[in-house]
Amino acid sequence: MFREMKALPKSILVGVGALIISTLGIQASDELAGVSGRLSGLVLESQGVCGLHEVPILFGSHSVCMDVYEASPHTSCPYEQIKSEVDTQVNIGAEACRAHSAPSLDPWKYVTYTEAQQLCARAGKRLPTNEEWYKVALGQTELDACFLSQTLELTGTANCVTNTGVHDVVGNVWEWMDDTVTDGTYKDRSLPESGYITLVDSDGVVLTTHTEPDARFGEDYAWVNSTGVQGIIRGGFYGSGEDGGIFSQNIAVPLNFSAVGVGFRCVRDIL
């Protein structure tokens, strides 16, 4: 084989070498960025790693299949349109009921942190971490297409899509994160008071706030409760207006909180 390669014209060998180097360079760039680019995504897709309505996302330390759409009740659930917390409880009481990712469905709402965890687990998945959600959300550019000042819409009905193909991370419904906060402390650091976001960490979690909006962070707002154990919901909902967006986060919600504007999305670890 090596003799055959030596027989090839130098120009072809140079071209092949350049392609290999370029590919490695793109992959290295993906890892530095923390989330996959086009090339790495195509590699995973070609291997059939993710299922229908999931997209592969590569991070520096791990990879996941993220649901393309906000979670909706599967057809096995008694209620496919959730109108109250009671509907969610009835659905959970049905053993076959689970979270489902598909377009043009009613997003699951009126769901608590624990219920969202359970519904993802039934589908063999889990809630995304702050890091996972945030690094995908950073690829959202058409914020005007997201539902922040309108009514609740069906999944995937707007051009609110990230560069990795994930729909509606911003707006429509808030999304539960897998992480929690205890007494205002996130990963051994104290969170600031509620206010307009002026700085975030590598997970997109608020570092500093101000009383005036900051255009560099989309004029997004952070709600913070420094007492007790709080959940984290992100992205805003259909009524958030200017306060919702990529950086918008509510860290002042008890784990048993549920509302018409609160939903979730699932991810699956790639082994």
Q: Would you say residue 171 lies in a domain?
A: yes
Question: Do 246 and 145 sit in the same domain of this protein?
Answer: yes
* Residue 59 belongs to a domain: no
Q: Which domain holds residue 32?
A: 2-50
d(CA 101, CA 95): 18
Residue 124 and residue 25 share a domain: no
Give me the percent of the chain exceeding a pLDDT of 70. Answer: 83
Of the pLDDT bands very low, low, confident and very high (cuts 50, 70, 90), residue 51 is very high
Backbone angles phi, psi at 242, to 5 degrees: -70, -20
Residues 46 and 74 occupy one common structural domain: no
**Greater pLDDT, 42 or 50:** 50
Q: State whether 30 and 128 are in the same domain.
A: no
First-residue to last-residue Cα distance in the chain: 34
Residues 152 and 187 in one domain: yes
Q: pLDDT class for 4, splitting at 50, 70, 90?
A: very low
- Whether 169 is covered by a domain: the verdict is yes
What is the average pLDDT across 79-100? 97
Name the band, by pLDDT with cuts 50, 70 and 90, for residue 47: low
How, if at all, do strands 195-200 and 206-210 pair?
antiparallel
Placement of tokens 């670890």 in the chain: 269
* The pLDDT value given to residue 254: 97
Residue 35's pLDDT is 57
44 and 126 housed in the same domain: no
- In angstroms, the CA 233 to CA 130 distance is 9
Q: Do the beta carbons of residue 70 and residue 53 sit within 8 Å?
A: no
User: Is residue 17 domain-shared with residue 82, that is, in the same domain?
Assistant: no
Residue 27 has pLDDT above 90, yes or no: no
CATH of the domain at 100: 3.90.1580
Mean pLDDT calculated for residue range 211-222: 96
**Whole-angstrom distance, CA of residue 158 vs CA of residue 156:** 6
55 within domain boundaries: no
Arithmetic mean of pLDDT, 257-264: 98
Q: What pLDDT was estimated at residue 195? A: 97
- pLDDT of 118 > 80? The answer is yes
Q: Looking at residue 150, what DSSP letter applies?
A: S
Q: Would you say residue 58 lies in a domain?
A: no
| Residue 100 is assigned to a structural domain of this protein | yes
Do 9 and 105 fall into the same domain?
no
Cα 159 to Cα 253: distance, rounded to the nearest angstrom: 29
Structure confidence by residue, pLDDT tens digits, 233-252: 999 999 999 999 999 999 99
Three-state SS at 197:
strand
- Total domains in the chain come to 2
Q: How confident is the model at residue 7 (pLDDT cuts 50, 70, 90)?
A: very low
- pLDDT category at 142 given cuts 50, 70, 90 is confident
* DSSP H or E segment with residue 232: strand 229-234
Answer yes or no: do 28 and 142 share one domain: no
**Mean pLDDT of all residues in 175-203:** 97
Are 234 and 128 in a shared domain?
A: yes
Q: Residue 23 — pLDDT band, cuts 50, 70, 90? A: very low
Q: What is the mean pLDDT of residues 112-138?
A: 98
Average confidence score pLDDT of the chain: 87
Residue 13 in domain: yes
Whether 159 shows a pLDDT value over 60: the answer reads: yes
* 38, 162: one domain: no
Residues 80, 30: one domain? no
Does some domain include residue 166?
Answer: yes
What sign for the dihedral angle of Cα 255, 128, 249, 245?
Answer: negative
37 confidence band (pLDDT: 50, 70, 90): very low
State yes or no: pLDDT of 43 exceeds 80: no
Instruction: Quote the DSSP letter at residue 227.
Output: S
Give, for 262, the enclosing helix (H) or strand (E).
Answer: strand 262-263
